[in-house]
Every structure is written in structure tokens, then in C-alpha cells.
């Protein structure tokens, strides 16, 4: 029973490029959450999605960031025109329902050079 799978584990992008982070939830889970973590800090909520729907994007920056969770395939967090301040670990979590326990993937560490 595979856990939450994120890829790539490490991603290096030059300023101005696009970053695409992928998340495959656990089997049977239809709720996906994206969080961002800066060094030695807690996780900050970004967005909450169900299949084909964005439920809560209150933590997403207004520009350059978008997320989707299509009917088929993984959830994608997309960052356009990356800047150095986007460097962080991005974690995806999934759960079977809204108020149920969430399980995290291993994260994608984005470095913008």
C-alpha cells in the first residue's frame, strides 16, 4: 500500500523558469493538500483540492502559483517565473475525507538559483 508519492524529490530551477511539482495521493484518498516549509519552520498551508475542484486556496500567493487535481493523474503544483524566495520544501498530503487524518509525502525540495 504505497504512501503519498511526490516527485521530483529535488528540483533546481533558474530564476524565471517554471517549476512543476507532482503528487499522487494514497490509494482511496480523494483529498489533497499542499504545504510549504521554510528551513527550521513549521508547514504553511497553501491549497486544498478534491478531484477537479479547488476547495480552499487561501494560502496560495496571488500570482505565479496554481494547483490542480484532475480527474485522472496526480495533483500538480505549478510555480511560474520562479524567484529565489520560492526556494523551500513543498509537501503534499492526502486524506480520504475532509476531517480525517492526513498523510504526508516526502516532499519536493525546490532550489531556485
Partner 1 sequence: TQLLEQSPQFLSIQEGENLTVYCNSSSVFSSLQWYRQEPGEGPVLLVTVVTGGEVKKLKRLTFQFGDARKDSSLHITAAQPGDTGLYLCAGARSNTGKLIFGQGTTLQVKP
Residue 62 contacts by C-beta under 8 Å, 6 or more apart in sequence? Answer: none
SS3 9: coil
Closest to partner 1 by CB, 81 vs 100, is 100
Closest to partner 1 by CB, 17 vs 96, is 96
Among 12, 15, 16, 41, binds partner 1 (CB under 8 A): 41
Does 35 help bind partner 1 (rule: CB under 8 A)?
yes
Q: Smallest Cα–Cα separation from 113: which of 1, 19, 4?
A: 19
SS3 85: helix
For partner 1, the binding residues (CB under 8 A) are 4, 6, 31, 33, 35, 40-45, 48, 55-56, 58-59, 91, 93, 95, 98-99, 101-107, 109
Amino acid at each position: 500500500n504505497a504512501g503519498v508519492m511526490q516527485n521530483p524529490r529535488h528540483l533546481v530551477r533558474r530564476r524565471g523558469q517554471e517549476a512543476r511539482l507532482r503528487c499522487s495521493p494514497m490509494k482511496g484518498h480523494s483529498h489533497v493538500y499542499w504545504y510549504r516549509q521554510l528551513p527550521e519552520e513549521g508547514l504553511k498551508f497553501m491549497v486544498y483540492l478534491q478531484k477537479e475542484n479547488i476547495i480552499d486556496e487561501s494560502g496560495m500567493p496571488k500570482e505565479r502559483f496554481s494547483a490542480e487535481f484532475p480527474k485522472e493523474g496526480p495533483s500538480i503544483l505549478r510555480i511560474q517565473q520562479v524567484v529565489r524566495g520560492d526556494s523551500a520544501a513543498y509537501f503534499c498530503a492526502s486524506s480520504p475525507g475532509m476531517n480525517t487524518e492526513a498523510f504526508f509525502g516526502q516532499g519536493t525540495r525546490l532550489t531556485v538559483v
